[in-house]
C-alpha cells in the first residue's frame, strides 16, 4: 500500500495523488478541486470520467467525484460553487489496518472572501480506501466571526456497463423534485428506479442506503449527515450540448450524488460538521 504524488508538465495544473490500496484497489485525486478521478476495485474502474474532460485546471473535471460547496446549482456564485475549481492542499497520507487514508484541506482566501459568499472556512477532506470501499468525508468548520449557511454535495459519476440495464434501489416512497419537468413535489413509486431519458432529480430526506445495480454487481452508497440524493444523466440531447462530454458516453454513466441541497447546513462561529459517503462494491447486485 502506498501514496504517490505526480505533477503535470507545468508542475502544478495536473498535480495529483495516486493511492494504491490492498488487493489491487486504487484511487486517484487531483489537487485541483480535490476531484477523485479514479476508483478501481475488483479489477475494474468504478468511476466515470469523460474522455473529453479537461484535466488542466481550465474548468471543473467532467466526471469522478467533484465537490460541490458552498452552493448547489446556479445562484450568486458560479455553478456548484468554488470548491471544485480551487487547488486543495495535501495534508498527509498514511496506511491503517485495512487500507490507506489521505487528507486534503481547503481554506478561504482573498478570492473566496471577495465573492458573494465571503466567509472564513476550513474544509478537511478525508479519503479512505480499502479493498472494497471508498470513503469520502468532509469536515466543515466555521472559522468566521458570524454564522453562515451552505449547501454541499459529492457529485459522484459512477461507471456502468449500460444505463439501460442499470437500476437504483432505496428510493421508493421518497419525495423528489423533478428539475426537468419544472419542479413540484412527487413521490417515487418504483422499487427499482431506471433511467431512459434526461433525468435530473433531487430526492429529499432519503432514509437509508441507496444502491446502484448492474449485472451481478452493485455499489452501495451510505451517507453521513447528508440528507439528499441527486440522480442525473444528461442523455443524448444534453450530452450534445456539453463540450467536455462526448455525445456517445451517457449510456456508460449515472450520477447518484450524496448531499444536502434541498435545505441548508448552518454553522455558528467555531462549529463543525462532518458529512460524506461510503461507496461499497458488492459482488452481486441486490434487487428488491
Indicate which residue of 15, 155, 188, 199 is catalytic: 155
State yes or no: is 155 an active-site residue. yes
CA 254, CA 37: separation in Å to the nearest integer?
A: 15
Q: What is the DSSP string of 123-136?
A: EEEEEEE-SSEEEE
State yes or no: is 257 an active-site residue. yes
Burial of 4 by CB count in 10 Å (0-12 exposed, 13-18 middle, 19+ buried)? exposed
Burial of 130 by CB count in 10 Å (0-12 exposed, 13-18 middle, 19+ buried)? buried
Tell me: is residue 62 an annotated ligand-binding position.
Answer: yes
Tell me: is residue 52 an annotated ligand-binding position.
Answer: no
Tell me: is residue 277 an annotated ligand-binding position.
Answer: no
3-state class of 74 per DSSP? coil
Residue 253: Cβ within 10 Å count: 22
At 161, phi and psi to the nearest 5? Answer: -65, -35
Binding-site annotation: residue ranges:
62, 79, 84
Residues annotated in the binding site for substrate, as ranges? 62, 79, 84
Active site residues: 155, 257
Amino acid at each position: 500500500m502506498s501514496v504517490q504524488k505526480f505533477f503535470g508538465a507545468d508542475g502544478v495544473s495536473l498535480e495529483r495523488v495516486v493511492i494504491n490500496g490492498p488487493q489491487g484497489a486504487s484511487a486517484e485525486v487531483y489537487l485541483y478541486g480535490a476531484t477523485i478521478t479514479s476508483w478501481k476495485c475488483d479489477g475494474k474502474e468504478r468511476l466515470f470520467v469523460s474522455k473529453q474532460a479537461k484535466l488542466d485546471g481550465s474548468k471543473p473535471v467532467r466526471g469522478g467525484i467533484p465537490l460541490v460547496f458552498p452552493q448547489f446549482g446556479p445562484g450568486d456564485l458560479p455553478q456548484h460553487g468554488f470548491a471544485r475549481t480551487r487547488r486543495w492542499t495535501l495534508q498527509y497520507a498514511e496506511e491503517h489496518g485495512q487500507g490507506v487514508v489521505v487528507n486534503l484541506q481547503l481554506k478561504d482566501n482573498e478570492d473566496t472572501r471577495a465573492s458573494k459568499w465571503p466567509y472564513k472556512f476550513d474544509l478537511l477532506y478525508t479519503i479512505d480506501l480499502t479493498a472494497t470501499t471508498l470513503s469520502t468525508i468532509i469536515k466543515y468548520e466555521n472559522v468566521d466571526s458570524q454564522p453562515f449557511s451552505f449547501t454541499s454535495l459529492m457529485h459522484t459519476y459512477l461507471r456502468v456497463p449500460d444505463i439501460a440495464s442499470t437500476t437504483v434501489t432505496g428510493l421508493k416512497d421518497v419525495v423528489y423534485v423533478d428539475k426537468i419537468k419544472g419542479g413540484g413535489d412527487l413521490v417515487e413509486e418504483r422499487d427499482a428506479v431506471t433511467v431512459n431519458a434526461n433525468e435530473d432529480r433531487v430526492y429529499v430526506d432519503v432514509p437509508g442506503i441507496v444502491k446502484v445495480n448492474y449485472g451481478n454487481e452493485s455499489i452501495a452508497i451510505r451517507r453521513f449527515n447528508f440528507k439528499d440524493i441527486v440522480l442525473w444523466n444528461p442523455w443524448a440531447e444534453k450530452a450534445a450540448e456539453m463540450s467536455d462530454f462526448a455525445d456517445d458516453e451517457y449510456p456508460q454513466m449515472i450520477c447518484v450524488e450524496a448531499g444536502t441541497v434541498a435545505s441548508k447546513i448552518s454553522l455558528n462561529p467555531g462549529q463543525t460538521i462532518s458529512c460524506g459517503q461510503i461507496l461499497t462494491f458488492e459482488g452481486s447486485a441486490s434487487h428488491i
